[in-house]
A and B are shown apart, each in its own frame.
Chain A
Amino acid sequence: SQQGEEDPQALSIQEGENATMNCSYKTSINNLQWYRQNSGRGLVHLILIRSNEREKHSGRLRVTLDTSKKSSSLLITASRAADTASYFCAPATSGSRLTFGEGTQLTVNP
């Protein structure tokens, strides 16, 4: 099954800085989804980018997709302490299942 691999595993930044997380995958996809998980909570869907899209924005989030390199990135601008969480990418193929990677643990220091 298709699994995304997030990089870096952990990222620590100061409030106000930008945070960039990367995701690589191995086979063709229909779309790629990003999720956030706060400690002790379930995953929350952030953004879905389709294979024919190159960039998508949602508030302070910017996602890019490069299907030729089989990679995606999630940029959080002007980070806040509340953005501290684990972030997961999930490439989606033609089936209905998503396979999540290990995630990037983001810490935003006040």
Chain B
Amino acid sequence: DAGVIQSPRHEVTEMGQEVTLRCKPISGHDYLFWYRQTMMRGLELLIYFNNNVPIDDSGMPEDRFSAKMPNASFSTLKIQPSEPRDSAVYFCASSPPGQGGNQPQHFGDGTRLSIL
């Protein structure tokens, strides 16, 4: 079975540019999570969706960040405008039906984002 697919794997861009990260969850999973990982702050949950609806976006750092899930097989995380402090590895994860915390999460291999 295909796992969670993220693209791009690496992104290098200049400060002020718009960045769009993409995620395809595992088919049949109805929870989707976006995380950010840095050395300083570890792995932080940014936002999660259930059945394409955002449930908790309290981890989104500021209005420059937005996430959408237009359908069950696709989600985007957008940063506009980007800043050097947004440099991190961004992970997408999905989990099967059932309350999300009671199911294992399946992670993609992440997007390594560098903002110059």
Contacts and interface: CB of A to CB of B under 8 A. Distances in A.
Given A42-B91, A93-B101, A88 B106 contact: no
A24 to B, nearest CB: 16
Interface in A88-110: 88, 92-103
Interface in B90-111: 91, 93, 99-102, 104-110
A100 B42 CA distance: 8
A82 interface: no
B56 interface: yes
A45 interface: yes
Query: How would you classify the secondary structure of chain A's contact residues: helix, strand, loop or mixed?
Result: loop
A98 B105 contact: yes
Interface in A60-110: 88, 92-103
Given A45-B106, A97-B56, A88 B101 contact: no
Interface string B52-69: 000110000000000000
Interface residues of A, number: 23
Contacts of A41: 109-110
A43 interface: yes
A99 B59 CA distance: 11
Query: How would you classify the secondary structure of chain B's contact residues: helix, strand, loop or mixed?
Result: strand
B45 interface: yes
Interface residues of B, number: 23
Interface string A25-51: 000001101000000111111001000
B112 to A, nearest CB: 8
Contacts of B100: 95-97
Contacts of A40: 109
15 contacts: A30-B101, A42-B91, A43-B91, A43-B93, A45-B104, A45-B106, A48-B104, A88-B43, A92-B101, A96-B56, A96-B101, A97-B100, A98-B45, A99-B45, A103-B42
The 8 closest A-B pairs by CB, nearest first: A96-B100, A42-B107, A92-B101, A45-B104, A100-B43, A43-B107, A42-B109, A96-B101
Interface of B: 4, 31, 33, 42-43, 45, 48, 50, 55-56, 91, 93, 99-102, 104-110
